[in-house]
Amino acid sequence: MAPQMRRRIIMIALIAFILGVLVIPSFFSNKNVKTITYSTLIRDARQGSVISSSINNSNGVITGQLSNGTNYTTNGPIPALSAEVSTLRTNNVNVTFANPSSLAGTLLPYLIWILIFGAFMFYVSRQARGQMNGMMSVGRSKAKQFNEDHPKTTFADVAGYLGVKSEISEVVEFLKSPLRYKTIGANIPKGILLVGPPGTGKTMLARAVAGEAGVPFFSVSGSDFMEMFVGVGASRVRDLFATARKQSPAIVFVDELDSIGRKRGAGLGGGHDEREQTLNQMLSEMDGFEPTEGIVVIAATNRPDVLDPALLRPGRFDRQIVVPLPDLEERLPILEVHAKGKPLDASVDMMIVARGTPGMSGADLANLVNEAALHAVRRNSTTIGMEDFESSRDRVLMGQERDTMVLQDAERERIAFHESGHAVLAYVLDKTDPLHKITIIPRGMALGVTMTLPEEDRHIMARQHLEDSLCMRMGGRVAELLVYGDLSTGAADDLQRNTELARRMVREWGMSKEIGPMAWGSNNQVFLGEDLMHTRDYSDHTSKVIDDEIERILREQESRAIEVLTLHRRGLESLTRALLERETIEGAEAARLIDEAHGEPVHPEGTKTVKSLSQIGKTAPSKEAVIAAPAAASPSTNPAPAPNWQPPKLPAV
């Protein structure tokens, strides 16, 4: 329980206790008490109906008990008359006199109420003082300071990224032993910017620096500088660097730098809003009029394109270290780190898992291992096997299965043809990513999924690969045209992705003969202010040429998809029948069905598919095993059209 809440409860309990002490006895004291007049008391005493009387000479109150057991009270003269007291004693009434109250006894009830009121006012003043202290300390930095013992993360806990760790560790060594570098005239970098996609471990590298550094380490998030009060962000920046100077040499880590480091003057607020003043103060502290010695600023961001140029110049962030997605040699140690302490089956080979997860970040790999463990629990296994990693990879890449969704038979058949169209083109075309799995079970937001997966890391894409990708995405739409002669809404996402890819091919990558070696930037600006002030940097004629080229590329790939699917119509139908029967088909099985329907291997050099994790690394099957009796393939009910078949006209929009 928080101390403030504890004090509040104690104060309420104390007030309730005092009120109880003052109020509760009055209820019991007045129980069965009868109020009578003074003359009635004298008359009852002469009749022998009064047993006792207690006379208080200070206030004239007379209390006692009647012969019937009733307690009474009345007000008499002050002081009591001696004749009437004699009358009471003559009639056998036990008469006693109460001592007059002292001054302390008289003032005690008032003192108690004064104390209660004083305690209440003291509590209110403390609350107000706390709020005032909070307002006065709003400009203080919220940075957390770490020492060598906390956190425990070191560079040994960060798998891979040897180049990144060597550059960061060099800064740590400079702070630990600066004389080694100063003797040769080397200056310490003032700032290091970690740049990379989300989930690549930039913050973990900073935690490792905190664990390795033998100097004070201050950690703060970019959003901690922002408050509703004007000038708070700049004040916190000043306080952060002032604290770091007192403990120099020191390291300051700023996470999510883009939250305060965005370009100045890009929004509607002009150049005097709170965020820009915070950035101005940080620029001044890092390399302003007063030089800062012995302080290294390490920042992390996944949006370097929105940072202010003044922040990135040498003298502020001298080094920009790219933390990319891990390659094969880095994914293996990352998987081993996350799998440490988990009961793995003897059949699990982490190298095979690493080879089957290209393009995954460190966070994706951690999620992959965790999902595999959850899948092992669901199947009541005490160890994690390869099938758990296979299911985990499908869940991460394709989404969770929606078993509760019920599709009509007509919808299910159309989805099967749609996904089979994608799968046939993904297998037949040369430069597409290898086919991994096809399913018509709804996953995530999709009703069906055709999954391709590169078997190796790719850092650049050739034009033929892009064109084959466009053609493959046209497969679902073209398959519906071939089979049903009309279209559905199932290709909406495919068309959107294809249009965006074709637009980038024409406008940014110079892959159009009509446009040539020119690049026209995207209109998608980061800031509202730039978007409002943006003017198109090409003419209307060029805009029309760009639109025509985008349309030409998409229509060419649609015609190409029609030709390929027309040639492999039997494979399309064979794969659709298998999908309707089994709902999910592996890439190798889909390749076998397409080859059998074609009558010979589509790829004589070998099957172009991604194997499951349990099959990666095994000997590839021979051609005879892949094509088992091609002449015995069952004839299709719809024979393949001639190569010069013309597609049906699209319905008018």
- 138 occurs within a structural domain: no
- pLDDT over 50 (residue 641): no
Flag the least confident range among 242-246, 371-375, 509-513: 242-246
- 135 occurs within a structural domain: no
Q: Which amino acid is at 602?
A: V
Which CATH number fits the domain that encloses residue 222? 3.40.50.300
- pLDDT over 50 (residue 139): no
Quick one: 583 and 514 in the same domain? yes
Quick one: 64 and 155 in the same domain? no
Quick one: 564 and 521 in the same domain? yes
Catalytic residue among 212, 285, 413, 419: 419
Q: Which two tokens mark 174?
A: 């400079």
> 590: closest CA among 476, 419, 430?
419
Quick one: 152 and 217 in the same domain? yes
Which CATH number fits the domain that encloses residue 83? 3.30.720.210
- 164 occurs within a structural domain: yes
Tell me which range, 336-345, 491-500, 534-543, 612-621, is most confidently predicted by mean pLDDT.
491-500
- 126 occurs within a structural domain: no
| DSSP of 157-206 | GS-S-HHHHHHHHHHHHHHH-THHHHTTTPPPPSEEEEE--TTSSHHHHH
Q: Is 589 among the residues known to form the active site?
A: no
Quick one: 432 and 565 in the same domain? yes
Number of domains the chain is built from: 4
Quick one: 346 and 475 in the same domain? no
- 267 occurs within a structural domain: yes
Quick one: 242 and 373 in the same domain? no
pLDDT score, position 559: 93
Contacts for 415 with CB less than 8 Å, ≥ 6 apart: 407, 440, 447, 448, 490
- 391 occurs within a structural domain: yes
Encode 48-63: b = buried (16+ Cβ within 10 Å), e = exposed.
Answer: ebbeebebbeeeeebb
- 46 occurs within a structural domain: yes
**What percent of the chain lies above the pLDDT cut of 70?**
78
Contact 255, 300 (CB under 8 A): yes
Quick one: 298 and 337 in the same domain? no
pLDDT score, position 401: 75
**Model pTM score:** 0.64
Quick one: 348 and 473 in the same domain? no
Mode of pairing for the β-strands spanning 144-146 and 217-221: antiparallel
Residue-range definition of the domain harbouring residue 62: 3-104
Contact 278, 323 (CB under 8 A): no
**Per-residue model confidence as pLDDT tens digits over 450-494:** 888 877 777 788 999 999 999 999 999 999 999 998 889 989 999
Quick one: 374 and 520 in the same domain? no
Quick one: 150 and 211 in the same domain? yes
pLDDT score, position 546: 92
Q: Which two tokens mark 5?
A: 């809440």
- 640 occurs within a structural domain: no
Domain boundary among 322, 355, 389: 322
- Identify the residue whose tokens are 């460190």: 362
Domain boundary among 273, 293, 322: 322
Quick one: 334 and 393 in the same domain? yes
Q: Which two tokens mark 368?
A: 């992959």
What's the pLDDT band for 622 if we cut at 50, 70, 90? very low
